[in-house]
A and B are shown apart, each in its own frame.
Chain A
Amino acid sequence: MSLVAVSFIFLVVLLCLLAPYISPHDPFEAVARRNTAPLTGNVFLGADVDGRDILTRLLWGGRISLITGVIPTVLATAVSLLIGMSAGYVGGWFDQLLMRSLDIFFAFPLVLVAIVVAGVLTPGLFTVMIAIFIALIPYIARLVRTTTLSVKTQPFIEAARASGARESVIIFRYLLPNTVAPVTVYATTLIGMMMVLGSALSFLGLGVQPPTADWGLMISEGRTVLRRAPHATIFPGIMIVLVALAFGFIGDGLRDAMDPRLRSR
């Protein structure tokens, strides 16, 4: 299943990268009558409320949606590893200070934090990424910290110290590899969710601005004509769901692959 998911993501990424060469139309220009139904004339998936080709906009919009999902999650994971591992490893008041500060973010729903950040900055792609990045850190850092705490007390850490391993060796060869695996799995499943969040922010008008193509934005624009032209909403919706699902499956597959106990020879 995860192999299918990887292939699917790969295909989507490839198609989105090739958008300038393979898209049938210009993403910003009206090429058909408003709300043209799919499979009519020159528009395979129909046209939106402004008469723009939906297939073209899906290809271009995928770029934005993938970026808003992947980049903030990767960056947030890196920062969270730093925060969570140092909190968990050092412990004491340092741990309390870091984690209690992050707990403040937990008082608000993830979406709300993102909305506040996006609202403070000017709307745009960069803002969406910053918002998701900041909103994600408490969640991942918390997982990193608990994982670090449990790995830290494993007997193999003591055994490593008894064999004369320096602190840096302990951290990078013993703590980090055993912490990264579960965190990577978690982060992968988050990518899909963050694409949805990014789309939600664009839908709310806090993210990417029209006329830029973005899956969330396309849904937002399509909802005004939902009854007359449901395809304008359905196709980007399907893409978001499929890609988010695929990342979820990849996360599951990674968990199996990265757990050495399950690793087959």
Chain B
Amino acid sequence: MACEPNVDYGPILRVVGLKTYFHLRDGTLQAVDDVSFEVGTGKTLCIVGESGSGKSVTALSIMGLIDPPGRIEAGGIYHHGEDLLELQEDELEGRIRGNRIGMIFQDPMSSLNPSFTIGDQVAEGLVLHRGLTRNQARQETVDVLRLVGIPDAEARYDLYPHQFSGGMRQRAMIAAAIICEPDLLIADEPTTALDVTIQAQILRLLAELKDKLNSSLLMITHDLGVVASMADDVLVMNAGKIVESGTVEQMFDSPSHPYTQGLLNCVIDAETQRDGSFEVIPGVPLVPINPGRGCRFKDRCTRRFARCNREEPVLLPIERGHYAACHLCDSAT
């Protein structure tokens, strides 16, 4: 059974040693390799990384939505102390997904069923988890649509997804994710597909809802601007591994891993970069199929030395709550 929320201020979600591998013809893709982190109650954790770094697979692993050829090889995912990996599929469906943990997807254009009305889909959670009929769920659904800032919610309940703009669809997706008042919201790049102006609105909405529902937020993004405005804690991933983790202040004030530093340098500043001098991290991200020995960032790292080829760095504390997996940081201590 789940513990009473908010009695202890321990983490709402604790992921320990998660390994999610995809067994492909070319070899085993170590999409998520030995990843551990916590999402504190009422906190926002941002997972940052490039495409293919394992951010989304981490989120899908938490939801138990890894399909073959993917497999969770090892680890534990504790939600209120209960290991989700031990649960049967029907328990996950009935009790966890959409009920205790809600998920928001990247592309609001294709993440809604085109054959049913917005209201029908937002109400789905109430139908699935509370056993209400769609008629019974209607008023509550309209209230939630209003809560996520959809004007004229009563009338828009009966519209189809194609009649909504991208921003409105994302609001509808958020409504569907929060309708059962989950204590953990997972948002997988919720603003990537949206206009900049809409992005800010959606981010503010997510922050407001998190407080209103007293829930925690796990946000996956590659946008450091999003991280700066939303996160309490940050996790930087590269090629399936955590390279650095810490509070948002630690990340932005004293980034320790060359990859984190590189990412921060890549942020485009409208003021200073009008001359077109963009910083880049050279090379392409390593695809962790049979990654071999040594650091997974070594081929792109400008500060590589002999030890990086031999030995894979482990996460070591730099200061309280701030960890990095880099030999440079190791020799510094």
Contact = CB atoms under 8 A, between A and B. Distances in A.
B57 interface: no
Given A155-B107, A159-B105, A261-B162, A164 B128 contact: yes
Interface in A249-265: 260-261, 263, 265
Given A166-B93, A173-B116, A155 B111 contact: yes
Nearest to A261: B162
Contacts of B161: 260
A161 B228 CA distance: 31
B88 interface: no
Interface residues of A, number: 22
Nearest to B101: A162
A260 B116 CA distance: 9
Given A162-B63, A162-B98, A163-B98, A178 B111 contact: no
Nearest to A165: B128
A157 to B, nearest CB: 9
Nearest to A262: B162
Contact of A178 (B63, B102, B113, B176): B113
A163 B124 contact: yes
Interface residues of B, number: 33
Q: Is the interface of A mostly helix, strand, loop or mixed?
A: helix
A178 B114 CA distance: 8
Given A154-B110, A156-B111, A164 B93 contact: yes
Contact of B176 (A155, A163, A263): A163
A161 B115 contact: no
Interface of A: 154-156, 158-166, 169, 173-174, 177-178, 181, 260-261, 263, 265
Given A162-B102, A178-B114, A263-B160, 6 more contacts: A155-B107, A162-B98, A163-B102, A164-B92, A260-B160, A261-B114
Interface of B: 63, 65, 90, 92-94, 96-99, 102-103, 105-107, 110-116, 124-125, 128-129, 160-163, 173, 176-177
